[in-house]
Amino acid sequence: EDKVVQSPLSLVVHEGDTVTLNCSYEVTNFRSLLWYKQEKKAPTFLFMLTSSGIEKKSGRLSSILDKKELFSILNITATQTGDSAIYLCAVAKNSGGSNYKLTFGKGTLLTVNP
Partner 1 sequence: GAVVSQHPSWVICKSGTSVKIECRSLDFQATTMFWYRQFPKQSLMLMATSNEGSKATYEQGVEKDKFLINHASLTLSTLTVTSAHPEDSSFYICSANRVYGYTFGSGTRLTVV
By beta-carbon proximity to partner 1, the closer residue of 43 and 65 is: 43
By beta-carbon proximity to partner 1, the closer residue of 19 and 88 is: 88
Distance CA 87, CA 57 (A): 16
Interface ranges with partner 1 (CB under 8 A): 32, 34, 36, 41-45, 48, 88, 90, 98-107, 109
Smallest separation (angstroms) from partner 1 to the CB of 78: 25
Smallest separation (angstroms) from partner 1 to the CB of 100: 7
Smallest separation (angstroms) from partner 1 to the CB of 41: 5
The DSSP output letter for 81 is G
Distance CA 51, CA 109 (A): 26
Smallest separation (angstroms) from partner 1 to the CB of 67: 17
Which sign, positive or negative, has the C-alpha torsion 1, 73, 62, 87? positive
By beta-carbon proximity to partner 1, the closer residue of 70 and 102 is: 102
Nearest to 36 by CA among 113, 112, 106: 106
The distance between the two most distant Cα atoms of the chain, rounded to a whole number of Å, is 47
